[in-house]
Amino acid sequence: MRKLSLISFLMLIVSVPTFAGGLLTNTNQNVAFLRNIARGASTEIDAVYSNPAGVAFLNDGFHLSLNGQSAFQTRTINSTFAPFAGNGGSATKEFKGEASAPFIPSFQAAYKKGNWTFSGSFAVTGGGGKATFNDGLASFESQVAMIPPMLVKAGIAGTNKYDVNSFIEGRQYIFGLQLGATYKLTDNFSAFLGGRMNYVSNSYFGYVRDIKANIGGGEMINVNQYFTAAANQYTAAAAAATAAGNTALAQQYTAAATSAAGVAIKTADKELDCDQSGWGLTPIIGLDYKIGKLNIGAKYEFRTSLNIENQTKINTTGVAAYKDGVNTPNDIPGMLTVGAQYSILPAVRASLGWNHYYDKDAKMANDKQKYLGGGTDEYLAGAEWDITDRILVSGGFQSTNYELQDNYMSDMSFTTSSYSVGMGAAFKLNKSLKVNVAYFFTNYDKYTKVTKSTAEDAKSVGYNGTGLAGTDVFTRTNKVFGLGVDYTF
């Protein structure tokens, strides 16, 4: 019996960002962003994150902002692979994951006195939710789907069905504590210097259990149990043949026992329960120039060097990368933002922005950054209208463009280019207190990855290493609700 190569668990690279921004960066750290996405030239309290040099133009005193957001996302992979027909009759299967972050808090604060402003913030700066695939992923099931054709090739005719119980759940949070100082160099020009301490907390749990097949065309039975029993029978037969002095027959039974035991090992239940943690520092600099009705802001966040360490409770996958204590690179890319805001009328303001993420310079697990065509670019626009002295409405648009390549994309870690729309309102309850409410959604492109068979392309290892052809179509949905309170005293 040929050994089956099954179940390569790659959970440690499952990515679950539920917010706006780059591959590992959340940019919606204040509800003001949700209702007007282009905040790169803000001079309000949300500028602590979006334009830290802009806080120089706040009024003297303390400024606080408390925000809560709820984000909900679906991830859908439609996978086509001929052997999938052995489980349900169709070569195309949908694998759907639900990602949620019911409550994500953030906090910004600033104190301005004269030319100096000191600011700080706490937010979920990356990740931000939990993703669950109740039926596993195609990368797992495609390995199991190879059992029937491989058994047929090994001489067990009639095997054409399989079944598997598969599940994966991942949770990722990067918590960021930012501190810095802004100095007003002239009446129109200010500069910021600061940094953010990032702490990573990830958790992954998943399994592949109870692999079944209709071996020989019979009833569905557990493959591991079947070949474990077969290995024991062959071992007993080898012992009997040896006792009878039939060395040649004993060798045949021993080889059969070894082959059956190999299949049993490969089809045994696999499980992983692993937490990860790590920390890194992000230096940040910023500039702001304000003249008349125009304000221009710029910020640069340096690359954050991060290594995350496994705290593994269970690992029966046989993969050394998931052993307890192993470190994996997980850098946060550097980021440049430029924004402008212009007062068209006393009550109407328009804003534009551009964000660039230096993704290829950030080290990722398995050097995945090498499979990106370049960095990510975002283009942003927004507008605000003061309907009255107490009521403001606003809206914004963002286009996010990734330089993706096929080798970067997998069902365990994928994103696609998208556009986002945000809208909302702000209500000034009194001269010190303002409430922001907003809704934000993202429409993602579909990305199709076609994998050729080894027969079609000698360099290809086939779909998930099977040697056969296959296709994945990736997409997502995303929506965020937010409520925030700003207070000045």
The answer to whether residues 359 and 365 touch, using CB atoms and an 8 Å cutoff, is: no
Distance CA 221, CA 209 (A): 13
Rg of the chain taking only CA atoms, in angstroms = 28
- Among 10-24, 115-129, 150-164, where is mean pLDDT lowest? 10-24
The answer to whether residues 443 and 432 touch, using CB atoms and an 8 Å cutoff, is: no
Show the CA angle centred on residue 16, arms to residues 266 and 169, nearest 5°.
40
Please tell me the predicted confidence (pLDDT) of residue 99: 85
Residue labelled with tokens 């706040």: 58
Please tell me the predicted confidence (pLDDT) of residue 19: 54
pLDDT at 12 over 80: no
Mean pLDDT confidence for 299-303 = 98
Distance CA 76, CA 420 (A): 18
Residue labelled with tokens 């539920």: 18
pLDDT at 10 over 70: no
Please tell me the predicted confidence (pLDDT) of residue 366: 84
Q: pTM for this one?
A: 0.90
Which tens digit of pLDDT belongs to each residue from 42-90? 999 999 999 999 999 999 999 999 999 999 999 999 999 999 999 999 9
**AA identity, residue 345:** L
**Alpha helices by DSSP H, 78-197:** 138-145, 147-153
Which tens digit of pLDDT belongs to each residue from 443-487? 999 999 999 999 999 999 999 999 999 999 999 999 999 999 999
Give the chain's mean pLDDT: 93
State the helix-helix crossing angle for 223-243 and 247-266, rounded to 10 degrees. 160
Which tens digit of pLDDT belongs to each residue from 195-229? 999 999 999 999 999 999 999 999 999 999 999 99
| Phi, psi torsion values for 330, nearest 5 degrees | -150, 50
Please tell me the predicted confidence (pLDDT) of residue 20: 61
Please tell me the predicted confidence (pLDDT) of residue 13: 38
Give the Cβ contact number of residue 430 at 10 Å: 7
All structural domains of the chain, each given as residue ranges with its CATH number in brackets, are 11-488 (2.40.160.60)
Please tell me the predicted confidence (pLDDT) of residue 9: 40
The answer to whether residues 418 and 12 touch, using CB atoms and an 8 Å cutoff, is: no
pLDDT at 128 over 80: no
- Residue 247 burial (CB < 10 Å; 0-12/13-18/19+)? exposed
Please tell me the predicted confidence (pLDDT) of residue 131: 85
Distance CA 138, CA 87 (A): 12
Which tens digit of pLDDT belongs to each residue from 311-331? 999 999 888 888 999 999 999
Distance CA 36, CA 460 (A): 46
Please tell me the predicted confidence (pLDDT) of residue 447: 97
Residue 481: alpha-carbon gap to chain centroid: 20
Which tens digit of pLDDT belongs to each residue from 261-274? 999 998 999 999 99
Q: Which residues contact 40 (CB under 8 A, 6 or more apart)?
A: 50, 51, 297, 298, 299, 337, 338, 339, 340, 351, 353, 354, 355, 380
Give the Cβ contact number of residue 110 at 10 Å: 25
Distance CA 300, CA 176 (A): 16
Please tell me the predicted confidence (pLDDT) of residue 434: 98
